[in-house]
Amino acid sequence: MTILLYELVGRDEGRPFSPHCWKATMALAHKGLEMSTAPTRFLEVPAVEGGVSKTVPVIRDGDKVVTDSFAIALYLEEAYPDRPSLFGGEGGKTMARFIERWSQSTIHPYVTTAALVDLHAMQDEQNGSYFRQSREQRFGKRLEDVVAARDAGLATFRAALEPLRSMLSYQPFIGGASPLFADYIVFGALQWARIASPYKVLEDSDVVAQWFTRCLDLHGGLGRKVAAAA
């Protein structure tokens, strides 16, 4: 049975950009499960599956509806134990939870700073108005003023990735010899940046950028099916 994934898009339905939806996309591919997608804009999220969640991703697998990217990964691991593991055991689940917290406190804030105006430009008129109002209320300043800080913060952001950079000098993936859900968590954050904005958050020579390239090539180049922002 094909699993339906509700994923966040802007004006262009072919450019899903949410880091959390990309985590779910990669998890489904890792498990080798057939999926279809329901492109969903910000203002459409409250209607997904009768209002089951305030955010996407959301999946429907038969009569089962699951929300939240991490909960989706846990569900897939339990529901499809015969498929490749997303965690490699209980320890992998706790490791992935740590990676998720680290990514959302280290990578997400800077990507937001770097790409906020570009993310706004991806939306249609109604969703763009919602995006600007909600984000400017959150930050207490204009989107353009948030993004104005990206150059000054770039070196600090890159330095903050040193633990990941150091670890990847020992092994090709966060999961070791092959990727696990922990890889998809960080991949989702950097894929968000890649799709939303042409602003270069990593140098090509960076070990982290090289790992990201390996992730783009996974599952038949799934991550490359959406072109980088020009």
Report residue 57 as tokens. Answer: 């991703």
Q: Residue 172: its pLDDT value, please?
A: 98
Residue carrying structure tokens 């990593």: 202
The distance from CA 220 to its chain's CA centroid, rounded to whole angstroms, is: 18
Q: How far is the C-alpha of 217 from the C-alpha of 220, rounded, in Å?
A: 6
Q: In which band, very low, low, confident or very high, does the pLDDT at 1 lie, cut at 50, 70 and 90?
A: confident
Q: What is the pTM of this model?
A: 0.98
Residues 81-132: pLDDT tens digits? 999 999 999 999 999 999 999 999 999 999 999 999 999 999 999 999 999 9
Q: How far is the C-alpha of 142 from the C-alpha of 132, rounded, in Å?
A: 8
- DSSP secondary structure, the chain, as one string: -PEEEEEE--S-TT----HHHHHHHHHHHHTT--EEEEEE-GGGGGGGGGT--SSS-EEEETTEEEESHHHHHHHHHHH-TTSPPSSSSHHHHHHHHHHHHHHHHHHHHHHHHHHHHHHHHTS-HHHHHHHHHHHHHHHTS-HHHHHTTHHHHHHHHHHHTHHHHHHTTT-SBTTBSS--HHHHHHHHHHHHHHHH-----S-TTSHHHHHHHHHHHHHHHGGGGSPPP-
Q: How far is the C-alpha of 27 from the C-alpha of 57, rounded, in Å?
A: 12
Report residue 211 as tokens. Answer: 């790992």
The four Cα atoms 144, 145, 148, 150 give a dihedral, to 10 degrees, of -100
| Whole-angstrom Cα Rg for the chain | 17
Which residues share a beta bridge with 5?
37, 59
Residues 195-223: pLDDT tens digits? 999 999 999 999 999 999 999 999 999 99
Which residues share a beta bridge with 8?
40
